[in-house]
Structure formats: C-alpha cells, structure tokens
Amino acid sequence: DIQMTQSPSSLSASVGDRVTITCQASQDISNYLNWYQQKPGKAPKLLIYDASNLETGVPSRFSGSGSGTDFTFTISSLQPEDIATYYCQQYDNLPRAITFGQGTRLEIK
C-alpha cells in the first residue's frame, strides 16, 4: 500500500504569510495527488486536483506543485478564513487505491 507522509502536523502563521505544506508518497504516484480543506464541523472541500489544478471557484492564493513522490501545497498570502485542517490524498487506478495524509492543522498566530 502507498503511504502518505504529510508535514507539518500543525502550523501557526500570521495573516499575510506564505504557508507551505508538504506531502511525500512512499512510491511514485505521478501527479495523482489532491488537496482538501476542512473547517470544523464541515465536510472537506476540494482545492487542488492532480497536483496543480485549481478547482473551480477556489481562490488563486492556493496552489499545488510536484510529481512523483514529493508534493507541495501553498497559500501565498494567508487569510483569516483559511484557518482549517488541510489533507493531501493520493489515488491510483490499477489497482484502485486511495490514501489520505494525516492532515495539517493551520492556526493563526
């Protein structure tokens, strides 16, 4: 099974800061890597799919990059409404397999 290592597990930053979260796969997953935002008591929301594609309606301050085993999620200028937990998620089709990262809790400093 493919393992996903997401870091850091928690992060404190100030409004306007650039924030970076990383996710490392235990083997090559090409670009099959997605990023989600989850606010307390709510269902997760898809932000980035296939490593670098911004989901419709998601602000451009969110971005993703990477391929193979190493991936990065970036918020270019942190806003108060970005306080949430962020998850990476990998998928494979042959055979079908899906794994979430452990999550990164983002707080305002």
Among 1, 60, 80, 81, binds other proteins (CB under 8 A): 1
Instruction: Rule CB under 8 A: say whether 40 interacts with other proteins.
Output: no
Strands 84-93 and 104-108: antiparallel
Kindly tell me which of 62 and 87 has the beta carbon lying closer to other proteins: 87
Beta-bridge partners for 90: 33, 99
Instruction: Rule CB under 8 A: say whether 108 interacts with other proteins.
Output: no
Kindly tell me which of 14 and 60 has the beta carbon lying closer to other proteins: 60
Instruction: Rule CB under 8 A: say whether 36 interacts with other proteins.
Output: yes
Q: Counting Cβ atoms within 10 Å, is residue 93 exposed (0-12), middle (13-18) or buried (19+)? A: exposed
Edge-to-edge, what's the strand order for the sheet holding 4-7?
4-7, 19-25, 70-75, 62-67
H-helix or E-strand spanning residue 80:
none
Instruction: Rule CB under 8 A: say whether 52 interacts with other proteins.
Output: no
What span, in angstroms and rounded, lies between the C-alpha atoms of 83 and 105?
Answer: 8
**Least CB distance from residue 24 to other proteins, whole Å?**
16
Footprint on this chain of other proteins (rule: CB under 8 A): 1, 32, 34, 36, 38, 43-46, 49-50, 55, 87, 89, 91, 93, 95-103
